[in-house]
Structures are given as structure tokens and as C-alpha cells.
Amino acid sequence: MRTLALVLLVGALAAGCSDSAGPAGTRADRGRVARGPVPVVTRVVVASRLEDQVEALGTTRANEAIDITAKTGNTITAIRFREGSAVARGAVLVEMDGAEARAGLGAAEAAVAESRSQFHRSRELFATKALSAAQLEQIEATLKANESRVASARARLDDTIIRAPFAGRTGLRRISPGSLVAPGAVITTLDDLRTLKLDFTLPEAFLGAVRTGLVIEANSIAWPERVFHGRVASVDSRVDPVTRSFTARALLPNADDALKPGMLLTVRLQGPATQVLMIPEGALVPEQGELFVFVVHQDQAEKRRVTLRSRQAGTVAIASGLAVGERLVVEGTLRLRQGSKVQEAAPAPL
């Protein structure tokens, strides 16, 4: 009986060991599966045509803009313009008291007439040797001095009339008839609004894409349904070392005066079309401030750092780090490490 009991105990222990070996073997099997190839979805990297579209904020400026001021202190006698009216080049804007200037011009003209008559008589006397050459030269110098005084008096008289230096639109007037204005005092403003300058800044990354003649579109909050078209006229020769941006200037036709200087506009410009590598945004693996992708090479995952050129809805343009024809992992990147074995599923070109 004692021998039979011992046999039964040994059998029971053997059965228990057999049962526990089953689950242990299953876990080992699962471990071997986990270390096997990782299923991924790949796509072949191809080049695509991309037209860069850039948006920026710009400020409008008049094509020509000045403050109309007085050169000398004087009294306003007449105002010949209306506020906000269009004036032609050379049109009289303001007249000031010119009585003193006219009197000075008259005196100067009388003096030059006398000097001219004396000079003619002196030449006749010099021809008969009754007058020396030195005396003739002195009389001629007096004539030229009096002629200069006439020109100066005429300029002072002209300064009493203020004219428009170019065609444009006047602003609000700051004076009234009878006002005594000081030199440099602003009388009104004059702006050429037929064409407006639109200055906007862009990051230096777009310096190569912006060129003279490039078409731009602009929108204003004042005219939400309207699109204004223009062209880039010039690009600043310097890049701001602080903001790493540069300024470009476009010209906008403004025949109907819809735009005014100082307005804020949203600018859109289309860059030249280029061939770039476009990949799904989901293929990017961010890590410590950098971006990586996984490329399949001989059934192994290769981790590759990339730099971006631009972003669009759901896709990104790659500036460096990839080449045409490589197989890019677009699904399954979370389970990959450098050198991981992969098993491709449903590969397809972009």
C-alpha cells in the first residue's frame, strides 16, 4: 500500500508539471512572434509638381505722397483747391500775398534796364577808346548782378503761388484764407492714388521665389468680396538680420480709388512651379524637435531625418532626406526601430 501511494504521488506531480509547461510554451511562442517582421504599409516616393503659395500682410502707400507746405512765411490770400479733389500737375493750389514780392521784382527790373542801357553806351565808348576795358568790365558785372536780382525777385514772387508738383488728390486743408503761415507749415496733402504701392514682408526662405513681375492677389477687410490684382515691382536689397525677413513692393491699379494709403491687406502670391517630394503627413515621426521617416531597404527599416519645405492639407513637401524611388513607410511607424525587420503590405505608388 505504501508503494502504491508513492507511485500515485509521482504520477500526480508529473501531470502537474505537464499542465504548467503548456502555458509556458505558449508565452514563448508569443515572444517569438513579437520578435518577427513588423507589418507595414509602404509607398514609393515620387516627385510631384508643386506651386508655392505664400500669404503675408501688407500696407498700402500712395505712389507719390507729399505734404504741401509754404517755403516762406506769408499770408494766405486765396485757396484754389477743394478738399479731396483731383488736381492736375501744375494746378494752382494756394495763393499768398505777393505785393511785396511784385514791388521787389519791379525795382529789380528797373535797375537791370538802366544797367543794360549803360552797358550798350559803354561799348560804343570803348570802341572809340573813350572808355577803358576795366571800366567796361565793371559796368558789365553790374548788369549781371542786376539780372540776378531780377531772377531772385521773380523766384520770391513765384513762391507766393503754390502749385501741384504732380497729378493727384488733395487731402484736408489745414489753413484758411487770411491765415499767416510759417515756413514749412503743412497746408494740405497731395497723393497720387491712381496706382498704390503695397509693401509686405516675407521670411528669407522665400527670397528665391519672389521676383519682379510676379502676380499677386490682395484682399481688404473693407472690400471682403473683392480681389485686387497687382505685380511685384521691386524687392528690398537687404534682409532684416533680426527677423530674417525681407520686404517686397507690389503695384496695385486703383482707378476707382477703392484703396487708400495705410490700409492693411492680405497678400497672396504664387511662386514658380517646382518638382518636389510629397509624402503623407502621417509618415513623419517627430522626435526631440526633429522629424524622421522610415525607409524600407532590403526588408529592414532605416530611420532617416528629413527637413520640410512646406505643408499642405494632409501632405508635406520634403526638402531633404529622401530620394525618388525609395519605399517609405506610411503606416506602422510606431512599432519600428532602426534596423527592424518589416513585412510590406499593399505597397502602392503615391
For the segment 214-242, what is each residue's pLDDT rounded down to a tens digit? 899 999 999 999 999 999 999 999 999 99
Mean pLDDT (the chain) is 84
Residue 180 has pLDDT above 70, yes or no: yes
CATH 2.40.420.20 matches 38-49+275-349: yes
Query: How many whole angstroms separate alpha carbon 237 and alpha carbon 58?
Result: 18
Provide the 8-state DSSP code for 348.
E
Strands 180-181 and 74-79: antiparallel
Q: Can you say whether the dihedral through the CA atoms of 252, 256, 260, 261 is positive or negative? A: positive
pLDDT of residue 52: 66
pLDDT (average), residues 188-196: 94
Please report which confidence band the pLDDT of residue 126 belongs to, taking 50, 70 and 90 as the band edges.
confident
- Topology of domain 54-62+194-272, per CATH? Elongation Factor Tu (Ef-tu); domain 3 (2.40.30)
Cell numbers at residue 287, please?
A: 522626435
3-state helix, strand, coil split of the chain in percent (to 5) is 30, 45, 25
pLDDT tens-digit map of 53-69:
788 999 999 999 999 99
pLDDT (average), residues 67-79: 93
* Cα–chain center distance at 120: 66
Q: What is the percentage of the chain residues whose pLDDT exceeds 90?
A: 45
pLDDT tens-digit map of 21-40:
444 333 333 334 346 788 88
Decide: 310 and 317 in contact? Cβ < 8 Å.
Answer: yes
Query: How many whole angstroms separate alpha carbon 318 and alpha carbon 293?
Result: 11
Residue 318 has pLDDT above 70, yes or no: yes
The hierarchical CATH code for the domain 98-158 is 1.10.287.470
pLDDT (average), residues 303-320: 85
Query: How many whole angstroms separate alpha carbon 93 and alpha carbon 102?
Result: 20
**Prediction pTM value:** 0.60
pLDDT of residue 26: 38
Angle between helices 133-158 and 99-127 (to 10 degrees): 160
pLDDT of residue 221: 94
pLDDT of residue 120: 86
pLDDT (average), residues 105-111: 91
Query: How many whole angstroms separate alpha carbon 50 and alpha carbon 185?
Result: 55
Map out the domains of the chain as residue ranges: 38-49+275-349, 54-62+194-272, 98-158
